[in-house]
């Protein structure tokens, strides 16, 4: 199959699954397997990062007002009676930054080891989909979800995001489920989950650019570009209504979906 068509399909898969708690990275790995993608692990990881950057950019567009207000707080520290006053935007910004720490540490220390996980590890993806499903079932039974995100909450949610680097563990699913299990309001859990990944993905993208990871052949760059545009446009169209779906729908339906996909793909893989 033509590399550009593959990139287009992967971009659409990323755009549709990024905003649902079903693991977009896991779906990308499964799609690469069924598309018979023969790229080496590093190139496969690069495509995954590029597609995630595209949906991160679509998140920036959808949440642009929130992002300007929240991250703008990092550059404007109001004073009161001659002392720095921590307003709501400043505190929320710090919580977002704190949530990034675990995943950033894992990404920096184990960058090369993680590349291996993005090289046709179909059984691993399916097993991690089962883990995602179990986590969503647990979260679906949570009661008394009326808290706001605290500093300790943001660090715990950040740990969940770090674990979700594994393909098949849903980043949004694990962070939203962890938030709900901590008693955080579902609307706030979804909002925090989608905002906390933006600087992390863009930071990873910037690191790859500085490391020369995008110094590819012309055809490979074109494939990355096609995938990026497809993921961005699809993500932009899907973001608003999918986020609303996550907020309102019962998480158990996504759990059963993860179980079904994991089981079916395992059967196909071993038969």
The per-residue pLDDT for range 2-38, each reduced to its tens digit, is 888 888 999 999 888 888 889 988 998 899 889 887 6
Other residues' Cβ atoms within 10 Å of the Cβ of residue 145: 17
Does residue 216 carry a pLDDT above 80?
Answer: no
What span, in angstroms and rounded, lies between the C-alpha atoms of 2 and 47?
A: 15
36: left (phi over 0), alpha (psi -120 to 50) or beta: left
In the prediction, which pLDDT does 108 show? Answer: 81
Q: CB within 8 A of 255, min separation 6: which ones?
A: 132, 133, 134, 136, 137, 140
pLDDT above 90 for 229:
yes
What is the CB-side half-sphere exposure of residue 135 using CA atoms within 13 A? 27
Run of H or E including 52: helix 41-62
pLDDT for the residue 81: 56
Within 63-150, residue ranges assigned H as helices are: 64-72, 88-109, 111-116, 122-140
Please give the Cα distance from 10 to 39 (Å, whole number): 13
Model-level pTM? Answer: 0.84
| Bigger pLDDT: 82 vs 219 | 219
What's residue 119's pLDDT? 73
Q: Tell me the average pLDDT across 131-150.
A: 88
The span from the CA of 162 to the CA of 187, in Å, is 22
């Amino acid at each position: 199959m033509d590399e550009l068509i593959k990139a287009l399909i992967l971009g659409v898969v990323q755009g549709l699954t990024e905003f649902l708690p079903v693991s977009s990275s896991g779906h990308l790995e499964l799609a690469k397997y069924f598309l018979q993608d023969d790229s080496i692990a590093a190139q496969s990881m690069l495509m995954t990062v590029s597609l995630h950057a595209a949906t991160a950019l679509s998140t920036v567009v959808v949440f642009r007002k929130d992002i300007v207000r929240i991250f703008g707080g990092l550059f404007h520290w109001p004073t009161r009676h001659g002392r720095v006053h921590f307003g709501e935007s400043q505190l929320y910004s710090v919580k977002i930054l704190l949530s990034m720490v675990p995943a950033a540490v894992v990404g920096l220390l184990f960058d090369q080891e993680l590349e291996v996980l993005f090289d046709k590890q179909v059984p691993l993806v399916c097993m991690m989909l089962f883990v995602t499903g179990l986590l969503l079932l647990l979260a679906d039974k949570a009661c008394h979800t009326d808290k706001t995100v605290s500093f300790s909450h943001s660090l715990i949610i950040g740990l969940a995001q770090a674990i979700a680097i594994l393909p098949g563990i849903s980043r949004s699913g694990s962070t939203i489920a962890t938030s709900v299990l901590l008693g955080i309001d579902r609307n706030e859990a979804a909002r925090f989950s989608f905002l906390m990944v933006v600087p992390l993905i863009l930071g990873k993208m910037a690191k790859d650019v500085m490391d020369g990871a995008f110094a590819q052949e012309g055809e490979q760059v074109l494939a990355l570009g096609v995938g990026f545009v497809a993921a961005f446009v699809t993500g932009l169209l899907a973001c608003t209504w999918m986020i609303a779906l996550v907020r309102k729908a019962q998480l158990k339906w996504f759990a059963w979906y993860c179980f079904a996909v994991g089981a079916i793909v395992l059967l196909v893989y071993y038969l």
